[in-house]
Amino acid sequence: MTNIVTIDNVEDLRAALFEHRCARESIGFVPTMGFLHDGHASLMRAAAAENDVVVASIFVNPLQFAPDEDLDDYPRDLVGDTALAREAGVHYLFTPVRDLMYPIQPVATTISVGGLSEGLEATTRPTHFAGVATVVTKLFSIVGQCKAYFGEKDFQQLAIIKRMVIDLSLPVDVVGCPIIREPDGLAMSSRNTYLEGADRTAAAVLRRALDAGVAAVDAGERDPQVVMSDMAAVIESEPLASLDYVAAVDAASLEIPSTLAGEIRLLVAAQVGRPRLIDNCGVRI
């Protein structure tokens, strides 16, 4: 367990990190929207294992929510988040308010990453990734040179951030970390708290759909349409789940190839009760 300092303004955080840089200490950074769970903790533990100093941020970013999404209801628990971050090895917890991050509203400058930001999640959330890219760029600017840790559950987001860092020559090494799952296979997510009763049981169908896709590939199937059909059938067999999309894509381009080969990512999104859930897994051919 570490001592943890909570900072809510840019100047104090930059000053604290400047001291560590002068001491030639490496910095790990974990950006979050709070309501932390063990998936977030795994990122923080990875950062602590590889760096001298760990910074985590908690900011529920309004730019990545559509008008009909759950910005106001998004779960928040700063006391619990602080305790979890402390246990996971975080030294600085950055907790800016909206007016600090976006002092002039509406925001006039946004970051857009072409290609990777199209399709999949962007089909139903067209403004989401511009909001993500913008806030992550701001956070990288505030924290400075670092290793930044992101979970692979948001695989499209991870790909976008990696490309953005390359395109903008940002002094950040982006590290993708494995998905952390519940015992029944459900990927951990802050929105899982919305699941109740039968919906919580039904949510495990996302992992079963991915397992069906992996089984098809392992059996020799190389037609992505067949693999996706197998995955969709599993989701559609669950009455409490409403399929959004399934995809079998090249892991680098996020495009559906004519024939599956190399590093492939299977992805699924579905509505189960109140929350819309996403999951994915990788397969190598």
Q: What is the DSSP letter of 270?
A: E
Q: What is the pLDDT of residues 156-204, one digit of tens each?
A: 999 999 999 999 999 999 999 999 999 999 999 989 999 999 999 999 9
CATH architecture of 190-280: 2-Layer Sandwich (3.30)
Query: Would the pLDDT of 1 be above 90?
Result: no
Note the pLDDT of residue 71: 81
- Residue of 37, 40, 91, 128 marked active site: 40
**Sequence ranges of the domains in the chain:** 5-177, 190-280
Note the pLDDT of residue 75: 84
State the Cα–Cα distance between residues 111 and 138, nearest whole angstrom.
10
Q: How confident is the model at residue 229 (pLDDT cuts 50, 70, 90)?
A: very high
Cβ atoms within 10 Å of 4's Cβ, excluding its own? 18
Question: What's CA 39's distance to the chain center, in Å?
Answer: 10
Q: How confident is the model at residue 118 (pLDDT cuts 50, 70, 90)?
A: very high
Q: What is the DSSP letter of 115?
A: T
Query: Would the pLDDT of 231 be above 90?
Result: yes
- For the chain, the 3-state helix, strand and coil shares in percent, each to the nearest 5, are 40, 20, 40
Query: Would the pLDDT of 78 be above 90?
Result: yes
Residue-by-residue DSSP string for 133-185: HHHHHHHHHHH-SEEEEEETTSHHHHHHHHHHHHHTT-SEEEEEEPPPB-TTS
pLDDT mean over 269-282? 96
Q: What is the pLDDT of residues 150-163, one digit of tens each?
A: 999 999 999 999 99
State the Cα–Cα distance between residues 259 and 223, nearest whole angstrom.
5
Q: What is the pLDDT of residues 135-155, one digit of tens each?
A: 999 999 999 999 999 999 999
State the Cα–Cα distance between residues 39 and 235, nearest whole angstrom.
24
Q: What is the pLDDT of residues 81-113, one digit of tens each?
A: 999 999 999 999 999 999 999 999 999 999 999
Distances, alpha carbon 164 to alpha carbons 5, 130, 132, 149, in Å: 30, 11, 11, 15
Q: How confident is the model at residue 234 (pLDDT cuts 50, 70, 90)?
A: very high
Which strands make up the sheet holding 263-272, listed edge to edge? 241-250, 263-272, 276-284
The answer to whether residue 40 is catalytic is yes
Note the pLDDT of residue 67: 81
Q: What is the pLDDT of residues 45-67, one digit of tens each?
A: 999 999 999 999 999 999 998 88
Yes or no: domain 5-177 corresponds to CATH 3.40.50.620: yes
Query: Would the pLDDT of 68 be above 80?
Result: no
Note the pLDDT of residue 215: 98
